[in-house]
Amino acid sequence: MTAQLIDIDAPPTRRPVSALARRNPTVKLALLFVVSLVLMFVFDPITPLVLYLLALGAVAVTARIPVKVFVLAHIPFLAFALGLLIVNALSRPGDVLWQSGVLRITTEGLLVGAALALRTLVIGVLSIGFVLSTDGVALMTSLHQHARLGSRLTYAVLAGYRMLEELPREWQTIRQAHAVRAPLRPHGKPPRGLRQYGRAAFALLVLSIRKGERMAQSLESRGLGLTPRSTWRRIPLTRTDWAMAAAVLTTLTVVVGLSSFLGFLEGFHALNT
């Protein structure tokens, strides 16, 4: 195997450092969920724009994400947001703002498109903050502790997480092992077709299922599922976590309330005009 390819001197990973990283993962996940849920009923561009700017500022200040990483992580959300904007602007009926041949942009389309695009960015920036400040292991432990996720499910996910870490190496070894007997293409490289990937994927699947079975047996033999059980390192749920939740929910309420008061807020009916 390729056990010797592991860098044994690598420093321990997953040290929470930033303010956001120290917060309780379950609380963060719940807040992300609540904000997303509320935004589902908002169809004007102003409210999500304000929320996006606030969220961007808050994540930038509390999560200590390097600027480059932050910008790169935005790309998928920006691309999706742009797609929403264009599709809505071009396809919604309403007052025509601009027309050229079969293409026409409507005011209503532009507004709804911008609302959906900005909604994507709000959820995006909060997700980036959540993912980059949360350790997967701590999240699972916290969900087990604070959201009553069963211990068997929790540890099954954690074991799966470990298997996932090893998949790239396993995949590479299988591809190499298959390449040895593969007929070479004219310029001397092994083939890289769909068929070859399919075969390697099948081998990976078989090996992973076997390994999963053995890991499940190991977890059982370690007594996973016995009751009562104790938890060694509790993920703290502190006043600061509640304060963060209160701050986020208050901000959300104030922004949506103010937006409604000032007449910006639009609900589902924006879709029907």
Report the amino acid identity of residue 99: Q
Tokens in use for 209?
């299922």
Enumerate residues 57-96 that contact another protein by CB under 8 A: none
Q: Give the whole-angstrom CA distance, residue 179 versus residue 2.
A: 17
Q: Binding of another protein at residue 238 (CB under 8 A)?
A: no
Q: Which of 91, 99, 218, 238 binds another protein (CB under 8 A)?
A: 218
223 near 9, Cβ under 8 Å? no
Q: What is the dihedral of CA 224, 225, 226, 231, to 10 degrees?
A: 70
Q: Which stretches of 49-95 are assigned E, i.e. beta strand?
A: none
Q: Binding of another protein at residue 159 (CB under 8 A)?
A: yes
Q: Binding of another protein at residue 182 (CB under 8 A)?
A: yes
Whichever of 68 and 269 has its CB closer to another protein, that residue is 68
Facing residues of 81 across strands? Answer: none
Selected range binding another protein among 31-39, 57-65, 96-104, 175-183, rule: CB under 8 A: 175-183
236 near 71, Cβ under 8 Å? no
Tokens in use for 211?
């390994």
Q: Binding of another protein at residue 228 (CB under 8 A)?
A: yes
Selected range binding another protein among 79-87, 213-221, 236-244, 257-265, rule: CB under 8 A: 213-221
Q: Binding of another protein at residue 222 (CB under 8 A)?
A: yes
- Closest CA relative to residue 28, chosen from 266, 248, 263, 178: 248
Where do contacts with another protein occur on this chain (CB under 8 A)? 1-8, 10, 12-14, 136-137, 151, 155, 158-159, 161-162, 165-166, 173-174, 176-184, 199, 203, 206-207, 211, 214-234
